[in-house]
């Protein structure tokens, strides 16, 4: 059996919204992803998918429970350790690409590597390799405003994978694209995931895309259940 890359144990999270008591969003989440596994996370809007992804990606903390990444329990770790783990071992993709507009496609993929200590030549080579894999070599010198929505999102995929993370978290990564572009972009993402062997948790409303992944889980009443909604 493949090594567990992401393990969520008993995660709970509630929010106070100006009324007595907390609104429970997560009620004991248990989920494990193995290396090389793609898992679709489906749920209605407002069910807590983004909250779950933020906790899994160490951008937020649970009220209780553990987040274990590549065998390392991140419970109680300080900001420095959490930041280092995010930079080195976690890749994020959002519905909106959030590319830096003043930099080219290649530079958007190079910069996270420089922040992680890579040399410029190695970072540029890695960026060129990734952009070539998603068919964007000819667009490497273009800024985001000169790229289509699908091209921008493919650059965002490359940026998320630039530092060779072990875990990829994606929140509706094709949600703002038309169906044809969504299908093409998702295919590029799945090819990258297959080649890198990381564990990917991808939130999506698109059940056709979800069915192309290894496993589908749903967030229902604050808990993880198997199968589609």
Q: What is the pLDDT of residue 19?
A: 55
3-state secondary structure of 13: strand
3-state secondary structure of 5: strand
Q: What is the mean pLDDT of residues 204-211?
A: 86
Structure tokens, 100: 């830096």
Other Cβ atoms less than 10 A from the Cβ of 151: the count is: 21
Q: How much of the chain exceeds pLDDT 90, in percent?
A: 45
Element of type H or E holding 114: helix 105-115
Q: What is the pLDDT of residues 37-75, one digit of tens each?
A: 999 999 877 778 889 999 999 999 998 999 999 889 998
Q: What is the mean pLDDT of residues 115-128?
A: 95
Beta carbons within 8 Å of 172's beta carbon, 6+ residues apart = 94, 95, 203, 204, 205
- Cα 2 from Cα 14, distance rounded (Å): 33
Q: What is the pLDDT of residue 20?
A: 56
Higher pLDDT, 36 or 121: 121
Q: What is the pLDDT of residues 95-114, one digit of tens each?
A: 777 899 999 999 999 999 99
Whole-model pTM: value is: 0.87
Higher pLDDT, 76 or 126: 126
Structure tokens, 211: 């069915």
Q: What is the pLDDT of residue 99?
A: 92
Give the CA radius of gyration of the chain.
17
pLDDT interval class at 2 (50, 70, 90): low
Higher pLDDT, 169 or 193: 169
Q: What is the mean pLDDT of residues 205-228?
A: 85
Give every strand in the sheet of 38-42, ordered side by side: 90-94, 167-171, 199-203, 38-42, 215-220, 223-226
Higher pLDDT, 22 or 75: 75
- Cα 160 from Cα 140, distance rounded (Å): 16
Q: What is the pLDDT of residue 173?
A: 82
Contact 25, 13 (CB under 8 A): yes
Q: What is the pLDDT of residues 123-177, one digit of tens each?
A: 999 999 999 888 899 999 999 999 998 899 889 989 999 999 999 999 888 877 7
Angle at 135 between CA 128 and CA 153, to 5 degrees: 90
Across all residues in the chain, what is the average pLDDT?
A: 87
pLDDT interval class at 1 (50, 70, 90): very low
């Amino acid at each position: 059996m493949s090594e567990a890359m992401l393990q969520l144990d008993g995660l709970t999270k509630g929010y106070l919204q100006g009324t007595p008591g907390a609104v429970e969003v997560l009620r004991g989440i248990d989920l494990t992803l193995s290396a090389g596994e793609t898992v679709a996370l489906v749920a209605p809007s407002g069910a807590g998918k983004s909250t779950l992804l933020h906790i899994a990606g160490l951008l937020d903390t649970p009220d209780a429970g553990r987040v274990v990444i590549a065998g390392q329990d991140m419970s109680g770790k300080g900001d420095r350790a959490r930041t280092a783990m995010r930079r080195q071992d976690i890749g994020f993709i959002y519905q909106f690409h959030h590319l830096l507009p003043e930099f080219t496609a290649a530079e958007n993929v190079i910069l996270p590597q420089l922040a992680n200590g890579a040399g410029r030549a190695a970072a540029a080579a890695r960026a060129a390799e990734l952009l070539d894999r998603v068919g964007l070599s000819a667009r490497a010198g273009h800024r985001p405003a000169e790229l289509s929505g699908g091209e921008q999102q493919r650059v965002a995929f490359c940026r998320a994978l630039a530092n060779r993370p072990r875990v990829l978290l994606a929140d509706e990564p094709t949600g703002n694209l038309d169906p044809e572009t969504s299908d093409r972009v998702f295919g590029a993402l799945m090819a990258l995931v297959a080649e890198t062997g990381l564990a990917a948790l991808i939130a999506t409303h698109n059940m056709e895309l979800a069915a192309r992944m290894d496993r589908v889980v749903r967030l229902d009443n604050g808990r993880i259940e198997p199968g589609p909604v």
